[in-house]
Each structure stands twice: as C-alpha cells, then as structure tokens.
Amino acid sequence: MGKRITKKNKKNRNLSMIAAVSVLIIIAIVLIVLVAKIISAKRENNRDKTETVVEETKNSTIGETEEKTEEKTEGVTGQDSASSSGETENWSGNGGAAANPIQNSGSLGNLTGGSESSGQSVSGSVSFPCQLDSGLTVTKIAGYDGVFIEDGSDTDISGVAAMAVTNNGSSNVEYAEITAVQGDRSLLFKVSALPAGATVVAMEANKASFEEGDYSSITAEVAGLDKFELSEDQIRIKDNGDNTLTVTNISGQDIPCVRLFYKYCMEDDIYVGGIAYMAKLTDLQPDQSKTVSPSHFVSGSSEVLMVRTYDSAE
C-alpha cells in the first residue's frame, strides 16, 4: 500500500513538474514576445526619431537654401510700390532648366496682331488702340492662356485678362501701372523696363479674368528713363546659350553688387510679361568672371535690358 502511495506521489510530482515547466515555457514565450515587441517599439521609436532628425535637417537645409536663393522683389525704380519680380543668383556651371513660357502660348497672337478699331475715348467708352498722354498706346485687352509671368510663379492660367501696350514715347519706361476700368471693376497691369518703340503683353496683376465689354477709362502712371543703363564700361555679359550668363568685371575695381534686368522676348521689340526679372551677383573682383543661371532666363528667348552696379551688396 505504501509503495502504491509512493508511486502515486511520484507520479503527481512528475505531473506537477511538467505543469510547472509548461507554465515556465509559456511565461518564457510571453516574455520573449513582450521583449520582441519592446525591441520593435524601441526600433520604431528610434527610426521615428531618426526620420524626424533627418526631416528637420532637411527642412533646415531647405530653409537655409530658400533664404539664400529667395526670390527678391526689386523695383526698377527702386521703390517697393513699383516692384518687379526677380531672383537671386543660382550659381551653376551647367546652366538651368528654364522652360520657355511663351513658346506654346497661342493666345499671344490674338494680343499682338493689331486691332480693327482705332481712336481714343469716345463718349466715355474706350476704343482701341487707345493713346495715353504718357506716350503709351494700349492696342488691345484680351484673354490669355499660358504661363503667368507677373509674379514669377509660372503657374498655368486660362482666360486671364492681358493687355498689349506699345511705348510710342521718346523715353524708355522704367515702370508703369496701367488701370483699366470696366463696369464696377478695375484691372491693373504693371510694366517695367519697356524700351521706346517696343510692345509688351502684360497679364492682369491679380489674375483677373477677361470679360467682354466696354472700358470706361484707361489711365497710366509712368516713370520714364532716357536711357537704360547697361554699365558697358564696367561689366561684360555673355549669353552662353545654355540658359546661363557669364558676367565679367572689366572696371578694374571691386564691384560689390551687380543686378541684371531681363525680359522674355517673343520677337523683335515684342516682350511677354510686364515685369522684368532680376538676377543678382555679389563680390565681383577686377577681371573676375562669374556664371549665373537665373531661374527664368532662357537663351534665345530672354533679353537683358538693364545692368546696374552698386556700392553695396545689400
């Protein structure tokens, strides 16, 4: 009887040990799973931190780059209220990838092809071409489809009002704001760096749409300039044919700052975009050449109209 009890006890102890081992195995498995999850979570957390650091570094770098290459707005007249869009220099030896925004703008032909009507203001209604006292002649206002040039954004637009205006005066136009009143709305067109005898197609500054109808008035505020400064005794400019310009200091003295003002040219004396873009170079030593790749300059389709040097890099 005692032996049977002993064997049974041994059997019970064995079962208990098996159960305990099983429990330990289950606990071990649970612990392994938990540890694996913890490790995975830590790795994910570290990866998130790494990605955050990388993203912050990336954003910081982009921010610094944008600060360095931020498109600066500078008026041809030097006034904030009389401004044209432009960009700081983008130093590059292989040229930019500037697209030609006027290449496929079929609506430009409608704006530069002349007008059947003639005259000026008749009974409070404007007919075209409309001659203004400033020497400017507005030949037409029509809809424009293509790239919006006036703010440098190059966004695609359709049906935006555009004005074809010719400088028939004896002086160059440094800056002009032309207002056309149609019903209860006023359209604003800004023009800078327009040579005497030249025509420009300017888009409405606020992207207002073109609407059929009469205009009650067209007025202009114009700042003229007898001659566009090219600084030919100080600066030599070469179009490299790859959307880059090489600027050489031939003055024999340090030039702290050079600004180049340029416009898109559709054909001889016909420009597209009221604004003049601006490219800036700094710290040009005597006989030194620098190559600049302005973001809107297109070799063969852009023309440098003014070159100015400054005593300060600001």
Mind listing the pLDDT tens digit of every residue in the chain (314 residues)?
A: 444 445 555 555 666 666 665 656 665 565 555 545 544 444 444 444 333 332 332 333 223 323 333 333 333 333 222 223 333 332 222 233 345 555 545 555 556 554 333 333 323 688 899 999 889 999 999 999 999 999 989 999 999 999 999 999 999 999 999 999 999 999 999 999 999 999 999 999 999 999 999 999 999 999 999 999 999 999 999 999 999 999 999 999 999 999 999 999 988 899 999 999 999 999 999 999 999 999 999 999 999 999 999 999 87
Q: Are 117 and 204 within one domain?
A: yes
- Is residue 103 assigned to a domain? no
In the chain, the amino acid numbered 188 is: L
Number of domains in the chain: 3
Among 225, 250, 274, give the residue marking a domain's end. Answer: 225
Q: Where are the beta strands (DSSP E) in the chain?
A: 74-79, 82-84, 87-88, 121-122, 125-126, 130-131, 136-147, 156-167, 172-182, 185-194, 199-203, 217-225, 235-239, 245-249, 255-267, 270-284, 289-292, 302-310
Among candidates 268, 270, 275, 114, which has minimal Cα distance to 200?
Answer: 270
Residue 125 lies in a domain: yes
Q: Do residue 212 and residue 182 come from a single domain?
A: yes
Determine, yes or no, domain membership for 173: yes
Closest CA to 302 of 70, 101, 28: 101
**74 in the same domain as 50:** no
Supply the pLDDT for residue 164. Answer: 97
Claim to verify: residue 195 and residue 124 sit in the same structural domain: yes
Whether 149 is in a domain gets the answer: yes
* 126 belongs to a structural domain: yes
Per-residue confidence (pLDDT) for residue 314, from 0 to 100: 78
**What was the pLDDT predicted at 146?**
93
**194 and 112 both lie in a single domain:** yes
The answer to whether residues 114 and 163 belong to one domain is yes
Cis peptide bond prior to 129, omega within 30° of 0: yes
For residue 253, being part of any structural domain is answered with yes
Same domain, 192 and 254: no
154 assigned to some structural domain: yes
pTM here is 0.65
Give the pLDDT score at 42: 43
Same domain? For 221 and 133 the reply is yes
Domain containing 30 equals 1-68
Note whether 3 and 79 are same-domain residues.
no
Please check whether residues 135 and 152 belong to one and the same domain.
yes
102 falls within a domain: no
What's the pLDDT score for residue 267?
84
C-beta of residue 276 within 8 angstroms of C-beta of residue 237: no
Q: How far apart are CA 72 and CA 314, in angstroms?
A: 11
The answer to whether 155 touches 147, Cβ cutoff 8 Å, is yes
Q: Are residues 62 and 73 in the same domain?
A: no
Pair 53, 113 in one domain: no
